[in-house]
Structure 1
């Protein structure tokens, strides 16, 4: 590896006997070589266990259902009864969320008689966090006792049949980050979490999807509830027209910047997964000079705020259905 001084040298260069002035490395140059830590070693089992023990001890509750609140959907955690609140910055070894609409706290309590824990604020790849860190809280949930993961997100609707404010129950995903070889499971596998090669064919629990569809009928919102395919891109930019067209050709109905790596981690440790996207904007798939066709975070937050009550009721009723079979 060339040293910084060598490559910036504008004057005459003295060659070594081998003929290459950059071949001989000094001890200082060798120390500058950085070997990245494999993602799976960023948070080893013992560290995850320490975080989980801290939460269980502090709350006095061993939760059964974990909820990840998407952008603008933090009110899902506000409906939890007898809440014990943990700010992320006060949890040992826990990252901090930096995105508007993500409060950055963990709430543990009861909902419809079930013990639950909810993340008000998730971690995103575009914040500079590796995927293993983004999905680390899912493993914390597992070691706290969580059996079911509810993952929610705000997403752009690619399917032309979707309207702003609709809810898409996720039954599959296209992992674009995975296409690039980026996975939360990269590195040595710890069998205490799960197998080396987990299957993802049935990642989203069909029974929970069917129950959510029935609940939507009783709520009178079945016309605005769909079942579809989600895709996660790295962000933080919204997608180009060409990218959206390509995703639509692949069968993607909604697109966002989260959730997929959390689902992968949850399935790796054998959690049952239910996930839905709140469609907060319609993705433009035709070229236009209109500013209205451009997505914005303000729009996302406004739509999420307007649909909070509906999303909370859907989640509450589904939690009640799970509790019935407990």
Structure 2
């Protein structure tokens, strides 16, 4: 079955479960999924029940799709995402983004837990993603292009909406949250990077790095969606000062940062036109 028909089947299934027509999509990264618990009048669907959806295998990813209302906006939120390093294809990793678009989503808010490369950052900071480096070694658009999704060669001159970035900056000021800004480097993982690799990324212009987000943003742009990206800095990844790191440490800092993150994203949703 074609990817287009798979997406249509997933959309048809979701529409049998809810009358909500979402306008905003949320992808909630490691340790940040509790924002979905604040969605009002929710319809909650396990990924495993949705046709052709992959299943989250990473700790900290609940593996549920939640539809409802948040800050007066109709939303669909992913509590947990999929990663290339889990063994899924890039088409599977980005499948939910295509489903969101065909459900009616025009704006995608993508979040993640990341390592900070910029020396001015610290664990617990939130970073507004201004641009990214795709260092995964692949691209989710490789293969036959489905014109119903978007053009063969999509423009990437503004992968993260400048207008939405301005909204985020104003929202952060309104709720008293310091918001860093920078370039996010997307890598494949699952191994953390070596000191030499981190120094390379810094020299390439990266301020933070992680193992997600970039594929989803490419597909969102392919389908004509406006994107806002917010990264939670869970650890410092300075090549010259690198210390051993575990996923548990990443999750701990993400949990500690969660109240600030939730406050900011809710205000951004409130302030969106």
TM-score, length basis structure 1: 0.82
Using the TM superposition, give the Cα deviation of residue 287 of structure 1 relative to its aligned residue in structure 2, in angstroms.
5.7
Residue 69 (1) aligns with residue 28 (2)? yes
Please give the alpha-carbon distance, in whole angstroms, between the structure 1 residues aligned to 2:250 and 2:18.
Answer: 32
Residue number in structure 2 paired with 1:11: none
Please give the alpha-carbon distance, in whole angstroms, between the structure 2 residues aligned to 1:281 and 1:55.
Answer: 37
Residue pair 1:229, 1:252 contacting (<8 A) in 2 also = yes
Residue ranges of structure 1 left out of the alignment (5+ in a row): 1-41
Match of 1:202 among 158, 162, 168: 158
Equivalent position SS for 1:48: helix
Equivalent position SS for 2:239: coil
Q: Tell me which protein shows more strand as a share of its residues.
A: 2
Residue 254 (1) aligns with residue 244 (2)? no
Residue pair 1:43, 1:133 contacting (<8 A) in 2 also = no
Residue pair 1:53, 1:144 contacting (<8 A) in 2 also = no
- RMSD (CA atoms): 1.1
Please give the alpha-carbon distance, in whole angstroms, between the structure 2 residues aligned to 1:208 and 1:58.
Answer: 30
Residue number in structure 1 paired with 2:220: 266
* Residue-by-residue CA offset, 1:124-175 (whole Å, 9 max, x unaligned): 0110001111011000000000000000000000000001000110010000
Residue ranges of structure 2 left out of the alignment (5+ in a row): none
Give 1:141-290 correspondences, 5 Å limit: 141-177=100-136, 180=137, 182-222=138-178, 225-286=179-240
Residue 317 (1) aligns with residue 267 (2)? yes
* Residue-by-residue CA offset, 1:29-85 (whole Å, 9 max, x unaligned): xxxxxxxxxxxxx85111101101211221111100000000000112111111100
Please give the alpha-carbon distance, in whole angstroms, between the structure 2 residues aligned to 1:287 and 1:315.
Answer: 32
List structure 1 runs of 4+ shifted beyond 4 angstroms.
Answer: none
Please give the alpha-carbon distance, in whole angstroms, between the structure 1 residues aligned to 2:52 and 2:92.
Answer: 10
Residue pair 1:154, 1:277 contacting (<8 A) in 2 also = yes
Please give the alpha-carbon distance, in whole angstroms, between the structure 1 residues aligned to 2:121 and 2:270.
Answer: 28
Equivalent position SS for 1:187: coil
Using the TM superposition, give the Cα deviation of residue 187 of structure 1 relative to its aligned residue in structure 2, in angstroms.
0.8
Residue pair 1:165, 1:278 contacting (<8 A) in 2 also = yes
Residue number in structure 2 paired with 1:308: 258
Equivalent position SS for 1:263: helix
Residue pair 2:175, 2:267 contacting (<8 A) in 1 also = no
Residue pair 2:129, 2:160 contacting (<8 A) in 1 also = yes
Residue pair 1:165, 1:303 contacting (<8 A) in 2 also = yes
Equivalent position SS for 1:286: helix
TM-score, length basis structure 2: 0.97
Residue number in structure 2 paired with 1:14: none
Residue pair 2:119, 2:238 contacting (<8 A) in 1 also = no
* Residue-by-residue CA offset, 1:194-250 (whole Å, 9 max, x unaligned): 00000111010111111111111121223xx11100011111110000000000000
- Structure whose alpha-carbon radius of gyration is higher: 1
Residue pair 2:154, 2:222 contacting (<8 A) in 1 also = yes
Residue pair 2:171, 2:271 contacting (<8 A) in 1 also = no
Residue 129 (1) aligns with residue 75 (2)? no
Aligned residues between the structures = 273
